[in-house]
Amino acid sequence: MSPDPTGGPSSGDRSSAGSSTGDRPATGSSPRTRPSGETPPLLGNWLSRLEDGLSRCEHLTLCLDFDGTLAPIAEDPDAAAVPADVERALAALADRPGVEPAVVSGRALSDLRERVDPDVTLAGNHGLEMDRGEQEWVHPAAAERRGALERAIGDITERLAAYPDCRIEDKGVTATVHHRGADADHATVRAAVRTALSDEPVLVATEGRKIVEVRPDVEWHKGEAVCELVDDGERTSAVYVGDDVTDEDAFEALEDLSCRSVGVLVGNRPSAADYRVHDVGGVRAFLAWLADEVYPASGPPDGDAGP
């Protein structure tokens, strides 16, 4: 096994052999012992344990966020791109029998199609729309609220007219107000959105990194999307990798699965994830490790389940 490709211990990290960490990756649905409000340990120190758990399964659903996970955060969202080495590692996994990579993002499905390998499952708008190759699906409640969304976009546009650097992205079933690099601060943008939505009770606002999103008021988020994508069972494993606050729903949803599952945070903050990597480079190393060590080109794990 390649040593420590996803970051080793550093001063102050809770990642030594004696650290308390969740039991879920190695033992299936066992409850974690690390409180979810703490910063997860670095993944690099637990690869052997993770490999042991994954190698017992016949199928892996590998879910990843896009911005800040597969692609570095870009000042201009349109300029965001997956680095070539990350793209190669993801494509290699997509070719492996028993591995289903999936991108779960706040971006629109049409946007993801332009940026991600066509062999990868896509869940856009936090899973309100999905494309698994042979089937495409849109949440019916989201489609029904399109008229309300159009009105809200118009209202927000007027309220933020004094801030031309704010960009309102119409994503079909949701909308995102981007203010990275804009004169308006987050509080100003948030107030404008919430005031506009006071007349549209079927819509809600959620907040992310330098964005405010407008979405249908339905019980659906990245966690619901993950549960929809994962074929839960004894011979299945699930991994979710993400950096944003919206990815916490996915990390928490892993707790409800009966299969072996693990959440990986990109960054360094308190999280419900089990482990963390430093940045997109750590994601690349993790994907390469999966492709080279756990799911090599010679074939998938033998699925020889232990006791």
Alpha helix positions (H), 118-220: 140-144, 146-159, 186-197
**Distance set, CA 128 to CA 105, 135, 209 (Å):** 10, 14, 20
In angstroms, how far is CA 136 from the centroid of its own chain?
19
Beta strands in 51-109 (DSSP E): 59-64, 99-104
Q: Which of 4, 13, 52, 65 is catalytic?
A: 65
Q: What is the DSSP letter of 32?
A: P
95 an active-site residue?
A: no
CB 42 within 8 A of CB 8: yes
CB 128 within 8 A of CB 174: yes
212 - beta bridge partners?
A: 177, 207
Class of residue 266 by CB neighbours under 10 A (exposed 0-12, middle 13-18, buried 19+): buried
Give backbone dihedrals phi and psi of 95, rounded to 5 degrees, phi first.
-85, -10
Give backbone dihedrals phi and psi of 187, rounded to 5 degrees, phi first.
-65, -40
**Distance set, CA 2 to CA 48, 240, 289 (Å):** 10, 21, 7
Tokens, residue 92: 């290699």
Q: Which residues are catalytic?
A: 65
